[in-house]
Amino acid sequence: MPLLTVQLEDQDRRVLFESGSSVRDILDETDIRVRAACNGTGACGLCRIRITEGDAGEPAAIELASLGNGLLDKGVRLACQVTADNNLRIEIINPAPPSVWHSLDAGVGTAPLTEGSPLFTQAEPTLGLTVDLGTTHISITVVEISTGRRLAGRRALNPQAASGADVLTRLMAAQSADQAEKLSLQAVRAIEEGVRDIGSREGIDLMRVVRVVLVGNTVMVALLSGQNHHLLLQPSYWAENIDCLPVETNLWRDAWGINPEAVIEVIPPLAGFVGSDLLTGVIATRLTEQEPGALLIDFGTNSEVALWDGNKLWVSSAAGGPAFEGCAISCGVPAEPGAIWRVAVSEATEELTFHVIADAEARGLCGSGLVDLLACLVRNGTLNRKGQFVLESPVNGFHFCSGRREFVLTRRDIDIFQRAKAAIGVVIEVLLAKAGMRRHELRRICIGGIFGQFLNVANAQEIGLLPPLPAELIETAGNTALSGCEALILSAEAYERLLVIREHAHIVNLSNCPDFETLFLDHLYLQPNAVV
């Protein structure tokens, strides 16, 4: 793969990229951004860089008009117009200010407008806004309704995490009326920041946004709206439908700077701990339109699972904690620039090698990196299948280095992951039992969420996180919740599918499972699941 080298004051940053990407798109995958305000058309002329080494090709017509021969002769180009096919070395002339919001791939997850009728057919192109309000991350996209094209997307950490990394801790905090109001405002303001970042940086007129679709797990939706979140602390409501929709959304429209007539729709969750994010994920993956044995696992702090048996959609959730998001782990970080996302063993040296998102300086392991590391340590005998270090290993944990930093994976870290893994395993086992199916009857597994974007499926299977299906039956589907939201914005047919999904859904409350403890203990082991 070609290499982009960015000259910075303190040190050079090197980023591997796919040929054919614009320099701006490459930078947007990192924490280094160039200033922009035109969604990559070149009209604003702000994304100026200087090519110091390498062939950037001939300038586009808009570069000639914006920069002139004088600047072009000095190597100045527009980052959005330089399509990189070979190694390049650049200097950023017009850097953007730091932001907590990271860009999503504009093309990933877009739901094509090829089915049903569009909900809007106005002469002037109108826009839709989608929001996936997750426990750990908030993700946002803007789509053009007439074409179904995703124009831009952003993702950042949910600031509510300061009140607790998991949903139960936040619910406890929300027992105070003042704290509940604070949590609601934090979510509204975070969405505002993300939306306005898209508007200013991409040159998108937010007044063209005429429809918003928002999803999330039930706790996040209830905390956002301030409605009935206290009920979620009562087990009798965990499998019940809870009215957690907002009473009014006018203040949200004003805060987000969108069209004052825009329709804001919060998709109702299915039950206490089965959110609307799972429902839109089922829409995006067309799970209920497949043959029996289709499974969707939406990994997250509150992981949700759906199994289609041909007649019923069996759904449940696993409060596995934030381990999959790279949180609550001593050396863990979210899947953002600086996160170790892939760990492997070098064939030449038999030593561990580490790959970091955006080739930045390593800050820690994200969820997929943790899966890889555990698989490698079990494989080389550093860990046994119980997740325990062997005698010759350091008693305080496994030390490893990436770049200039040293990290330690502790026994507590491994235990946290094992518990999260076991919770997922129990959900899958229980849903299969309810459907009268066995593991070998599964025909498709869709892995949703940021965690799945970087996941090495073989390593996940080796430590028992995923069922032992052939690789061709397992797909990493990215943020299925957002993709489903986009489908709802683009066509009425998606709403029809949503109604069908609700009709076929059967909620399974794991607290009523008599074999829960036995199944949980079985799935703690770091070993492949048996084919049964």
Domain CATH number, residue 439: 3.30.420
Give yes or no: residues 150 and 178 share one domain: yes
Helix (H) or strand (E) holding 47: none
For residue 497, being part of any structural domain is answered with yes
Q: How far apart are CA 383 and CA 417, in angstroms?
A: 14
Residues 35 and 154 in one domain: no
Question: Which pLDDT does position 531 carry in this prediction?
Answer: 77
- For residues 168-176, give the mean pLDDT: 93
- Average pLDDT for 499-523: 91
The whole-angstrom separation of Cα 91 and Cα 8 is 7
Phi first, then psi, for residue 53 (nearest 5°) are: -150, 145
Better-predicted residue by pLDDT, 415 or 273: 415
State residue 113's pLDDT score: 39
Neighbours of 349 (CB within 10 A): 8
Same-domain pairing of 106 and 60: no
Average pLDDT over residues 121-141: 86
Any domain includes 225: yes
In a domain, residue 25? The reply is: yes
Q: Are 149 and 143 in contact (CB under 8 A)?
A: yes
Q: Centre a 10 Å sphere on the Cβ of residue 8 and count the other Cβ atoms it contains.
A: 12
What is the reported pLDDT for 112? 41
Identify the residue with better confidence: 118 or 517: 517
- Spatial CA neighbour of 337 closest among 36, 16, 8, 3: 16
Tokens linked to 183: 């949590």
Q: Is the pLDDT of residue 345 over 80?
A: yes
Distance CA 260, CA 206 (A): 10
Sign of CA dihedral 511, 512, 513, 518: positive
- C-alpha 483/C-alpha 344 separation (Å) is 31
Specify the amino acid at residue 137: H
Per the domain annotation, does 38 fall within a domain? yes
Measured CA distances, 54 to 69, 89, 375 (Å): 19, 6, 40
Kindly report the average pLDDT of the chain as a whole number.
90
Q: Are residues 63 and 183 in the same domain?
A: no
- Taking residues 76-85, report their average pLDDT: 93
Beta carbons of 142 and 128 less than 8 angstroms apart: yes
* 402-416 as b/e: b if 16+ CB within 10 A: beeeebebebebbeb
**Residues 122 and 229 both lie in one domain:** yes
Q: Is the dihedral of CA 302, 230, 246, 504 positive or negative?
A: positive
Query: What's the DSSP call for residue 233?
Result: G
Confidence of residue 394 (pLDDT cuts 50, 70, 90): low
Instruction: Tell me what the mean pLDDT of segment 113-126 comes to.
Output: 52
Q: Are strands 303-308 and 209-216 parallel, antiparallel or unpaired?
A: unpaired
Calpha distance 137→220 (Å, rounded): 11
Give yes or no: residues 314 and 347 share one domain. Answer: no
Residue 119: its pLDDT value, please? 47
The CA angle 447-184-31, to the nearest 5 degrees, is 55
Cβ neighbour number for residue 465 with a 10 Å cutoff: 27
Asked if the model's pLDDT at residue 395 lies above 70, the reply is no
pLDDT digits (tens, 9 = 90+) for 273-326: 899 999 999 999 999 998 999 999 999 888 999 999 999 999 999 876 788 888
pLDDT at 15 exceeding the cut of 60: yes
- What distance lies between CA 403 and its chain's CA centroid? 26
Band (pLDDT 50/70/90 cuts) for residue 109 is very low
What digits encode the pLDDT tens for the residues 235-252? 888 888 899 999 999 999
- pLDDT at residue 9 is higher than 80: no
Assigned token pair, 126: 């109108």
Judge whether 44 lies within some domain. yes
SS3 of the chain: helix, strand, coil, percent, to 5: 35, 25, 40
Number of structural domains, the chain? 4
Question: Of the candidates 409, 439, 468, which is a domain's last residue?
Answer: 409
Q: Which of 123-127, 170-174, 205-209 has the lowest mean pLDDT?
A: 123-127
Residue 349's pLDDT band (boundaries 50, 70, 90)? Answer: confident
Report DSSP state, residue 481: H
| Residues spanned by the domain of 339 | 331-409
Q: Specify whether the CB–CB gap between 272 and 264 falls below 8 A.
A: no
Same domain, yes or no: 33 and 68: yes
Which of 47-56, 230-239, 435-444, 477-486 has the lowest average pLDDT? Answer: 230-239
Please report, for the domain that includes residue 114, its CATH number: 3.30.420.480
How far is 209 from 267, CA to CA, in rounded Å? 18
Per-residue pLDDT averaged across 128-154, rounded? 95
Pairing label, strands 137-144, 398-402: unpaired
CATH number at 86 reads 3.10.20.30
**How much is the pLDDT for 393?**
59
Q: Contact at 8 Å (CB) between 492 and 117?
A: yes
Q: Whole-angstrom Cα distance, residue 457 to residue 368?
A: 10
Structural contact between residues 304 and 285, judged by C-beta atoms closer than 8 angstroms: no
Q: Given this model, what pLDDT does residue 17 score?
A: 81
pLDDT bucket at 106, cuts 50 / 70 / 90? low
Decide which of 414 and 454 is more confident: 414
The sign of the dihedral angle between the CA atoms of 43, 47, 48, 49 is negative
pLDDT at 122: 47
Alpha helix stretches (DSSP H) within 343-410:
367-379
> pLDDT exceeding 70 applies to what percent of the chain?
95
Predicted local confidence at residue 65, as pLDDT: 93
pLDDT of residue 108: 44
What is the pLDDT, as a whole number, of residue 124?
Answer: 62
- Write down which residue in 66, 92, 118 finishes a domain: 92
pLDDT of residue 337: 85
Pair 156, 202 in one domain:
yes
Q: Does one domain contain both 175 and 110?
A: yes
Average pLDDT, stretch 64-77? 94
In one-letter notation, the amino acid at residue 330 is: S
DSSP class of 332:
B
Higher pLDDT, 531 or 145: 145
State the pLDDT at residue 117.
44
Whether the per-residue pLDDT at 344 is higher than 70: the answer is yes
- Residue 165 domain-assigned (yes or no): yes
Q: Are residues 346 and 457 in the same domain?
A: no
| Residue linked to tokens 């892939």 | 342
> Global pTM?
0.89
Q: HEC string of 27-40? A: HHCCCCCECCCCCC
Percent of the chain with pLDDT over 90: 70
In a domain, 532, yes or no: no
Is the pLDDT at 213 greater than 80? The verdict is yes
155 falls within a domain: yes
Half-sphere exposure of 437 (CA within 13 A, CB side): 23
Among candidate residues 409, 431, 461, the one where a domain is terminated: 409
166 and 250 in one domain?
A: yes
Q: Report the alpha-carbon distance of residue 428 to residue 314 in Å, rounded.
A: 10
- Confidence class of residue 510 from pLDDT cuts 50, 70 and 90? confident
Pair (123, 260) in one structural domain: yes
User: How many residues are present in the chain?
Assistant: 532
Q: Which residues pair with 102 in a beta bridge?
A: 155
